[in-house]
Amino acid sequence: MARTETLTTTVSTKGQVILPKALRQRREWEAGTRLIVEETPEGILLRRAPAFPASEAGSVFGMLPFSGKPKTLDEMDSAILAESRRRHDRD
């Protein structure tokens, strides 16, 4: 993002900072957006917080219960194709 203007804000007595509307709109940061605040040598960095914490496949594998014979890759591919066709035909 090219810097074409200098924007300023003030820290309130409660330690709150209002981000200029132009920046919030460009970043699509609505009210309630969670931000990560990181101190860097250059200043403070704000980044959107992820919606869900990072996880590894091993920690979530098998979270949904299933009983029965495991599906083959071909069976899964066929089921995905059938569902996408069903949804497409519905619209």
pLDDT value for 25:
94
Residue 10 pLDDT grade (very low, low, confident, very high; cuts 50, 70, 90)? very high
Distance CA 48, CA 26 (A): 13
Helix (H, G, I), strand (E, B) or coil at 35: strand
Supply the CATH classification number for the domain 7-51. Answer: 2.10.260.10
Q: Domain extents for the chain?
A: 7-51
Residue-wise pLDDT for 16-59, tens only, equals 999 999 899 999 999 999 999 999 999 999 999 998 888 887 77
Flag whether pLDDT at 90 surpasses 80. no
66 contact partners, CB below 8 Å, separation of at least 6:
none
Distance CA 78, CA 84 (A): 10
Residue 65 pLDDT grade (very low, low, confident, very high; cuts 50, 70, 90)? confident
pTM score: 0.52
